[in-house]
Amino acid sequence: MTACPHLAMLHRAWRCVVDRMSLRTPLNGFTLIELMVVLVLLALLLGLGVPSMQQLLHRNSLRAEAHRLLAAVNLTRSEAVMRNRPVSLCPSAMSVTGQPVCGGHYSDGWIVFSNSGRDRVVDPGSDEVLQVFAGMPPGYTLTNRSGSRELSELISYLPDGSSRKNRTLLICTPPAVALAPLGIVINIVGRPRLAQDWGQCAGAR
């Protein structure tokens, strides 16, 4: 027995229509009923295929965003060690505004910058923006592990490569998509890793 009875039934109906069409001569036309059957079958096939395609696209987008954020965290850590000074990651819309200002949420974008004052201010005289990242796709958010709060805090690394704090960064898709999130877990020594099934977003299943 097939694992998709609905698709099998549609396939049999489609083959029946195709067989009838193949028996016709070039001089014969199609009845209104036959044309309606073809249109209904096409509508059903599209209705089954479009949601699956949307889920696939969002799943790929979620994975891409997780790897993009993980790369930013790894960059922050490696630059702190290499420069022997604090380096931070903060939410910023600099990719749109051009202004090196920490603010808003990570869904707006983020920047990696050397942070001599270990604060949320990019000081022109002593700090340097190392890399600018664009925002997430519409509806995507970065939240805490429970998915109850969108994150906006600074993520800082010290020259020894530690962050001195355990963190879980959860990337959530729009609630209507309801995909299980991907997380980035940072342990107390600062080592980040990608994690699945590590939290719950609002609307995820």
- Over residues 92-114, the pLDDT tens digits come to 999 999 999 999 999 999 999 99
d(CA 125, CA 117): 11
Query: Taking the CB of residue 138, how many other CB atoms lie within 10 A of it?
Result: 7
pLDDT at 54 > cutoff 90: no
Please give the torsion angle defined by the CA atoms of residues 134, 137, 139 and 145, in that order, rounded to the nearest 10 degrees: -70
DSSP code of residue 161: S
- The tokens of 112 are what? 């990696």
SS3 120: coil
Q: Where are the domains of the chain?
A: 59-196
More confident residue, 83 or 2: 83
% residues pLDDT > 70 (the chain): 78
pLDDT at 29 > cutoff 70: no
Q: What is the pLDDT of residue 47?
A: 62
- The tokens of 181 are what? 């999130």
Fold of 59-196: minor pseudopilin epsh fold (3.55.40)
The tens digit of pLDDT for each residue in 177-205 reads 878 899 999 999 999 999 988 888 875 44
d(CA 198, CA 46): 34
d(CA 160, CA 35): 71
